[in-house]
Amino acid sequence: MLTETVALLDAHGEAGLNFRALAGRLGGGVGSIYWYVSSKDELLDRASDHVLAGVLTAVADVGGGDPIEDLRTIAVTLFDAIADRPWLGAYFMRDTEVQPNALRLFEKLGQQVLRLDLTRRQQFHAVSAVVGFVVGTAADMGQEPPPEVLSGEVDRAEYLAAAVAQWRALDPAEFPFVHRIADEFEGHDDAEQFRAGLDLLLAGLRLQAGG
């Protein structure tokens, strides 16, 4: 059931997930779904946890090397999963009672931080910062494209070029930073931008840990 739920979410997003549509995929009645979950919210939580099982498998062997690099590997793997499934970010660790894989992934990140010379509070803040950056950035980058791009009226490059043209028309005295990075924004790669931000965060963590 969870595999079909994830497939439905991937195809149509949260708005397209309902028990009738899921029952149609499963070839049964709506009532049978209530044997497994009590609500759509619980179904979404369990579907997200089902996806996170794959993330855990992918990082199962991570650990034992440089803790900062191990943190980076886990974070990038989680980012890729959420970027591929924009609906996933909203449900990460929403209810750890029904999301054991989310809690195990949080623990996996935390165990890398335990290897650093940090106070308990610093460790908590470190993992919170990494998770917040990964989930928030992936969810933001995974937002549905603008209507013009969805309809095929313009492609992504044309849409960005139009936005940058508006930026370049601004007064450079009032918006010096926007003018300076306009060219970078127009040709930027989302995944590269994420990794650069993550590296900045982890470099700060390494300094804090005295490494």
- For 3-13, the pLDDT digits (tens) are 888 887 887 77
pLDDT tens-digit map of 23-80 = 666 666 666 676 677 778 888 888 899 899 999 999 999 988 899 999 999 999 999 9
- Does the structure show a pLDDT above 90 at 157? no
Rounded CA Rg of the chain: 20
In angstroms, what CA-CA distances link 77 with 58, 98, 140, 154, 184? Answer: 8, 22, 17, 31, 25
Q: What is the pTM of this model?
A: 0.84
CATH ID of 64-208, from 1.10.357.10, 2.60.40.420, 1.10.1040.10, 3.40.50.720:
1.10.357.10
Other CB atoms within a 10 A radius of the CB of residue 89 amount to: 22
Boundaries of every domain in the chain: 64-208
Alpha helices, H only, 13-144? 19-26, 30-33, 40-58, 67-84, 100-113, 120-141
